[in-house]
């Protein structure tokens, strides 16, 4: 389940249908999307997507429907609009999974929200699922009508772009083979230095970790200045992020106002008690509704750029650390769809990667970052 959490007021169903792909960042396929409508006057809140077949599943569908309605209720919805995305008009096909999915959702939503209006977007048109009148002909009204809505036009003018598919929201193109070979040589040297440092003792290991955090700082500085750094920072970063303490220090560096805390966290056998407390405070900036804040836009874009370069230059199939940090940044921004795709990739690289599993659990449960849950 991937929620998107920015609020907006729209008045007509067609406006909401035009809005959904922009809120998700991609055009849903074989999906069900639930839209939270808050008071006053139908303020659009959370927009959450689930696979159509998952919601229609005879074993787990009811649980997913209840989880979805719980998410919407927590968002403050008083009404809900449901949108089914499927290739063909399901009204003439009794066995179409859309009917079972809608039935399960309506059962779960009846107590908190009452009747739920359901719209369907097919490959060629859009229609109300329960409508049999001429206003919803077979196959639906033309999709081009959604392109001409006020919301759609305003979003396009504002620079909002919609990917063709869910997978496209997290596309990271690999660097050239020559660049990747250069980075691989640096990475192997840095990995060898880590093994030597661990054998040499605590002081040498701390120096290696400090140098790895310094590689992160250097890459961010280069990204801010304009030209991308050469092969060395990417190789050192890739090797460094494989070390949990370095990865956690980079995570802390994503949070504004943490100063030299990332460096302090890799000194010694374990962080000092005051640094442990500061680390918890930094994580609370992301997670805790009581003190959380949205991520800084410019700095976050730079951090994402650096991590994407690590993935693009690194070993294929070995990028769980960088992909998980990218997913964390996407989730922190409220982009649950991108976070989910990145987490799928991270867990594909390492199915036991703990931070990815923890974040995946939050995304699947529809739990947003702390700033989206203030006052909930």
Q: Would you list the DSSP string of 1-57?
A: -EEE---EE--SHHHHHHHHHHHHTB---SEEEEEEEETTTTEEEEEEEEEHHHHT-
DSSP 291-304: T--PPPHHHHHHHH
Report residue 162 CA to chain centroid gap: 15
Q: What band does 376 get if pLDDT is binned at 50, 70 and 90?
A: low
> What span, in angstroms and rounded, lies between the C-alpha atoms of 348 and 324?
11
HSE of 11, CA atoms in CB hemisphere, 13 A: 2
255-312 pLDDT, tens per residue? 999 999 999 999 988 888 999 999 999 999 999 988 888 899 999 999 999 999 999 9
Answer with the residue of higher pLDDT: 23 or 65.
Answer: 65
- Residue 280 CA to residue 278 CA, distance in Å, equals 5
| Beta strand pairing call for 125-128 and 141-142 | antiparallel
Q: What mean pLDDT do residues 227-250 have?
A: 85
What pLDDT, on a 0 to 100 scale, did the predictor assign at position 7? 45
How far apart CA 266 and CA 243 sit, in angstroms, is 10
pLDDT digits (tens, 9 = 90+) for 350-375: 999 999 999 999 988 778 898 877 75
Rg of the Cα trace of the chain? Answer: 23
Which residue, 45, 100, 98, 105, is CA-closest to 72? Answer: 45
Give the per-residue pLDDT at 146: 86
- DSSP label of 75: T
Report whether 359 contacts 365 (CB < 8 A): no
Instruction: Report which of residues 155 and 42 the model is more confident about.
Output: 42
2-165 CATH pick, 3.40.140.10, 3.30.70.360, 3.30.1330.20, 3.40.50.10300: 3.40.140.10
pLDDT at 1: 59
In which band, very low, low, confident or very high, does the pLDDT at 349 lie, cut at 50, 70 and 90?
very high
Structure-token pair, residue 198 = 């661990």
Q: Quick one: what percent of the chain has pLDDT higher than 90?
A: 65
What is the CB neighbour count within 10 angstroms for residue 328?
Answer: 25
> How is the chain split into domains, by residue range?
2-165, 177-373
Whether the per-residue pLDDT at 11 is higher than 60: the answer is: no
∠ CA 338-362-161, rounded to 5°: 20
Q: What is the pTM of this model?
A: 0.76
64 within 8 A of 73, measured Cβ to Cβ: no
3-class DSSP assignment, residue 85:
strand
């Amino acid at each position: 389940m991937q929620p998107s959490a920015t609020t907006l007021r729209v008045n007509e169903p067609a406006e909401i249908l035009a809005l959904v792909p922009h809120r998700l960042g991609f055009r849903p396929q074989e999906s069900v999307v639930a839209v939270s409508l808050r008071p006053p006057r139908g303020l659009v809140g959370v927009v959450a997507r689930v696979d159509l077949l998952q919601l229609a599943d005879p074993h787990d569908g009811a649980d997913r429907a209840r989880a979805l309605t719980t998410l919407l209720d927590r968002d403050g919805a008083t009404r809900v609009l449901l949108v089914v995305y499927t290739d063909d008009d399901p009204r003439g096909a009794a066995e179409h999974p859309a009917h079972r999915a809608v039935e399960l959702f309506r059962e779960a939503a009846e107590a908190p929200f009452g009747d739920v209006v359901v719209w369907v977007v097919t490959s060629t048109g859009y229609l109300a699922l329960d409508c049999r009148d001429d206003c919803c002909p077979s196959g639906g009204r033309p999709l081009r009508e959604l392109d001409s809505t006020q919301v759609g036009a305003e979003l396009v003018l504002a620079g909002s772009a919609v990917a063709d598919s869910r997978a496209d929201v997290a596309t990271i193109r690999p660097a050239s083979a020559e660049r990747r070979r250069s980075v691989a040589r640096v990475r192997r040297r840095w990995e060898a230095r880590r093994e030597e440092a661990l054998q040499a003792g605590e002081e040498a290991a701390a120096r290696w970790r400090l140098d790895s955090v310094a590689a992160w700082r250097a890459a961010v500085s280069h990204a801010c200045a304009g030209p991308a750094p050469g092969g060395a920072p990417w190789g050192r970063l890739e090797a460094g992020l494989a070390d949990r303490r370095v990865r956690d220090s980079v995570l802390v560096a994503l949070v504004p106002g943490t100063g030299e805390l990332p460096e302090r966290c890799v000194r010694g056998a374990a962080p000092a008690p005051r640094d442990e407390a500061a680390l918890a405070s930094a994580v609370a900036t992301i997670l805790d509704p009581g003190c959380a804040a949205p991520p800084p836009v410019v700095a976050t874009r730079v951090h994402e750029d650096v991590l994407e370069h690590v993935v693009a230059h690194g070993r294929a199939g070995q990028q769980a650390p960088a992909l998980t940090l990218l997913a964390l940044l996407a989730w922190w921004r409220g982009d649950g769809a991108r976070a989910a795709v990145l987490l799928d990739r991270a867990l594909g690289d390492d199915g036991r990667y703990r931070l990815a599993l923890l974040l995946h659990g939050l995304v699947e449960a529809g739990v947003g970052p702390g700033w989206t849950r203030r006052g909930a």
